[in-house]
């Protein structure tokens, strides 16, 4: 009886898993919003297409990217930075949909960061084989705000290390609907994504989409 009750509560409450001090994995937190998120994503993609950006070292990234919000993260031969306009079209990035802003704020609050007000959302598209090497998110002015990262589609292995590149990262399997929040003492943690395994997701297809919300300014 008691066990049954706990199981049914576990079904409806998304679980919170501490990854490190200031870092939290909220399993399934975005699942209730999946249809709305997918609909607005299509809209964004129509205005600002996914593209493989070039690193300062001259390599095309395996992850395809676009952005929404006041600012978008870009890279090219001259470096990493935030830009108000999409360099491909010269137009402002699509506005951040209310559904994105709300989800990011609610996830941050669940993880203990109240009043998160992102002005940038980097949208990453991983097709099988795409990966992201270990890096810190440090192009933002404000490290007081956390990073909120939403996973949709195929599962991925997320690597989460410490504040030094040499800290051995832990591996977390992120599934459709999972949200990771890192801030405070974990704000500058090195993180990355292992090469995406092939598969087919019922709603998203043969890819993984990651939304990364930041307060850039």
Question: Which residues form the interface with ligand SIN (CB under 6 A)?
Answer: 122, 124, 132, 149, 158, 191, 193, 210, 212
Query: How many residues form the binding site for Fe ion (CB under 5 A)?
Result: 1
Backbone angles phi, psi at 119, to 5 degrees: -115, 0
Q: How far is the CB of 69 from ligand SIN (least distance, A)?
A: 14
Under DSSP, is residue 142 helix (H, G, I), strand (E, B) or coil?
Answer: coil
Q: d(Cα 214, Cα 143) in Å, to the nearest integer?
A: 10
DSSP state of 205: B
What is the rounded distance in angstroms from the CA atom of residue 74 to the CA atom of residue 103? Answer: 23
| Both structure tokens of 187 | 């704000």
Nearer to ligand SIN, 67 or 149 (CB): 149
Cα gap 82→130, rounded to integer Å? 23
- What is the C-alpha separation between 215 and 213, in angstroms, rounded? 7
We find the least distance from the C-beta atom of residue 147 to ligand SIN, in angstroms, to be 8
The one among 119, 137, 140, 178 contacting Fe ion by CB under 5 A: 137
Between 132 and 216, CB nearer to ligand SIN: 132
Nearest residue to Fe ion by CB is 137
Least distance in Å: CB of 180 to ligand SIN?
7
Q: Which is nearer to ligand SIN, 23 or 193 (CB)?
A: 193
Instruction: Label the pairing between strands 120-126 and 64-69.
Output: antiparallel
Q: Which does 210 bind (CB under 5 to 8 A by kind): Fe ion, ligand SIN, none?
A: ligand SIN
User: At which residue do the structure tokens 């929040």 appear?
Assistant: 181
| CB of residue 149 to ligand SIN, shortest distance in Å | 5
Contacting residues toward Fe ion, per CB under 5 A: 137
């Amino acid at each position: 009886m008691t066990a049954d009750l706990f199981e049914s509560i576990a079904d409806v409450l998304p679980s919170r898993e501490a990854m490190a001090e200031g870092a939290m994995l909220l399993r399934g937190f975005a699942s209730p919003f999946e249809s709305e998120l997918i609909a607005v994503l299509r809209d964004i993609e129509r205005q600002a297409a996914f593209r493989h950006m070039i690193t300062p070292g001259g390599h095309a990234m395996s992850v395809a990217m676009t952005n929404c919000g006041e600012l978008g993260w870009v890279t090219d031969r001259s470096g990493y930075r935030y830009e108000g306009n999409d360099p491909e079209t010269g137009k402002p990035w699509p506005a951040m949909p209310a559904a994105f802003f709300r989800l990011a704020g609610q996830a941050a609050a669940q993880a203990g960061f109240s009043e998160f007000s992102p002005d940038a959302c980097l949208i990453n598209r991983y097709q099988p084989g795409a990966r992201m090497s270990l890096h810190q998110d440090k192009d933002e002015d404000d490290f007081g705000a956390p990073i909120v990262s939403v996973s949709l589609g195929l599962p991925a292995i997320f690597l989460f290390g410490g504040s030094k590149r040499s800290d051995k990262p832990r591996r977390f399997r992120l599934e459709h609907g999972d949200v990771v929040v890192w801030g405070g003492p974990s704000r500058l943690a090195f993180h990355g994504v292992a090469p995406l395994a092939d598969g087919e997701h019922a709603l998203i297809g043969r890819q993984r989409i990651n939304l990364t919300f930041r307060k850039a300014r």
